[in-house]
Amino acid sequence: MAGRPPVSRRALLGAGGAGVLAGAAGLFQVARTSSGETEADPGVIPFHGAHQAGITTPVQDRLHFAAFDLTGDDPERVVALLREWTAAAAAMTRGLPVGGGAVGGAPLAPPDDTGEALGLPASRLTLTLGFGPSFFTRLGLADRRPAALVDLPHFPGDKLDPARSGGDLCIQACADDPQVAVHAVHNLARIGFGTVSVRWSQLGFGKTSSTTPDSQTPRNMMGFKDGTNNIPGTDEALLGRHVWAAAEDGAPWMAGGSYLVARRIRMHIETWDRTSLAEQEEVFGRSKGEGASPGRSREHDPVILERMAPDAHVRLAHPDANAGARMLRRGYSFTDGTDGLGRLDAGLFFLAYQRDIDASFVRVQANLRGDRLNEYIQHVGSGVYAVPPGVREGGFWGETLFS
């Protein structure tokens, strides 16, 4: 990329495709500032900043989540990859191709960009990187592993598939266009060849949590509004208390970062579909239509926990039942075909960001052991990741860990 003017994927295609890199400025469809930046475009979420994008960012429509394993244990090689990934991510989130692009390069070399996003705008793409516990062990950095990055205990009912769990690193790609999210992970995997390999991945659609309380709350595969009482992405006080890691938490390099828990939660959807409306509403402790809690008429009215069944999901998950524990939920629905027995392999890919995994996810999940929702769901995949702070201009993903 160095020395070359940024050219949007749309401009490239609009200009006739191959070879048109310079002089295409007049064809840009991505809004640009006078400095050549594209951040003013509502489809471009700034990549650089104090925190990584993709946490408080208003939730996009689609997800491609990928967990990677290191193929070796050389920190220098990993830093080189993180630098390369950062450059590619900064370009893709602006709607630009990776490196020299998909077309117009040396005909006898593979293109720098795989090409399937040519002609597509940035689509609010965010790329968020995390380090799993094994990352620190593999690279001899165990002393830098944050205490807040705990291994999850076994919870009753867990049936975790190792092939859908763990990973030395993860990338969460979110965008309003599935092709853009998939293209981003595809290109990071291609760049990583020889240093990392994809361990498992998950596609998601239909966001199941909102970080913007003013907009309509999305619904999960069980038909209920999900995210009503989420932490708003604009509430700096709540984010500071419950989501962002601080230097005094014990790992100064994580200040401004967060900790991600990912859980692939399968829904026994056919059983749920045969359950009465009254039972469904009791399970959650909210009405199916409005999303109101018992004794209330509107979705955002404060809940009266005592009016709910003792084993209602919201009653058990609420901060008042968990010493004030909160997390920022950012999950997506998934359907991955059928399971061979005629049942949909569908559910919730639960993603939650927090300052302290033990105090938030572990605390709440332990309290959910008596949740009536457990009759209808099963946790089948799991991962925990330290998500480092945002990237400064000229810096790279995870720089504070290695500096």
Ligand X SMILES: C=CC1=C(C)c2cc3[nH]c(cc4nc(cc5[nH]c(cc1n2)c(C)c5CCC(=O)O)C(CCC(=O)O)=C4C)c(C)c3C=C
Q: What is the binding site for ligand X (CB under 6 A)?
A: 220, 222, 224-230, 263, 265, 267, 284, 286, 303, 313-314, 317-319, 347-348, 350, 361, 364-365, 368, 377
CB of 37 to ligand X, least distance (A): 36
Q: What are the φ/ψ torsions at residue 204 (nearest 5 degrees)? A: -135, 150
Amino acid occupying residue 72: G
Q: Which is nearer to ligand X, 123 or 230 (CB)?
A: 230
Output the six-digit token pair for 60: 């996009």
CB of 304 to ligand X, least distance (A): 11
CB of 267 to ligand X, least distance (A): 6
Q: Which is nearer to ligand X, 123 or 354 (CB)?
A: 354
CB of 402 to ligand X, least distance (A): 32
Q: Which is nearer to ligand X, 294 or 388 (CB)?
A: 294
CB of 261 to ligand X, least distance (A): 8
Q: Which is nearer to ligand X, 300 or 392 (CB)?
A: 300
Q: Which is nearer to ligand X, 21 or 316 (CB)?
A: 316
Query: What is d(CA 64, CA 202) in angstroms, rounded to the nearest whole number?
Result: 6
Q: What distance separates the 2 farthest-apart alpha carbons in the chain?
A: 69
Query: What is d(CA 227, CA 121) in angstroms, rounded to the nearest whole number?
Result: 28
Output the six-digit token pair for 382: 């799991």
Query: What is d(CA 25, CA 123) in angstroms, rounded to the nearest whole number?
Result: 20
Chain-centre distance of CA 39, in angstroms?
A: 21
CB of 228 to ligand X, least distance (A): 4
Q: Which is nearer to ligand X, 130 or 227 (CB)?
A: 227
Query: Residues in the chain, how many?
Result: 403
CB of 300 to ligand X, least distance (A): 10
Output the six-digit token pair for 66: 């990928």
DSSP labels for 39-64? Answer: TTSTT---SBSSS-TTSSSPPPSEEE
* Of 131, 135, 136, 101, residue with least CA distance to 116: 101
CB of 203 to ligand X, least distance (A): 17
Query: What is d(CA 389, CA 244) in angstroms, rounded to the nearest whole number?
Result: 9
Amino acid occupying residue 182: V
Q: Which is nearer to ligand X, 177 or 356 (CB)?
A: 356
- What's the DSSP call for residue 355? S
Beta-sheet strands, E only, within 107-220: 126-131, 169-175, 196-207
CB of 307 to ligand X, least distance (A): 13
**In terms of DSSP H, where are the helices of 168-291?**
178-191, 236-242, 269-273, 277-284
Query: What is d(CA 317, CA 312) in angstroms, rounded to the nearest whole number?
Result: 9
Q: Which is nearer to ligand X, 294 or 347 (CB)?
A: 347
Q: Which is nearer to ligand X, 145 or 286 (CB)?
A: 286
Q: Which is nearer to ligand X, 185 or 364 (CB)?
A: 364
Backbone CA torsion sign across 385, 389, 392, 398:
negative
Helix (H) or strand (E) holding 316: helix 313-317
Angle, CA 304 vertex, CA 301 and CA 308 arms, to 5°:
120
CB of 51 to ligand X, least distance (A): 21
CB of 279 to ligand X, least distance (A): 14
- Sort strands 377-387 and 258-267 into parallel, antiparallel or unpaired: antiparallel
Q: Which is nearer to ligand X, 79 or 152 (CB)?
A: 152
Query: CA-CA distances (angstroms) from residue 321 to 77, 219, 367?
Result: 46, 24, 8
Output the six-digit token pair for 332: 């997506």
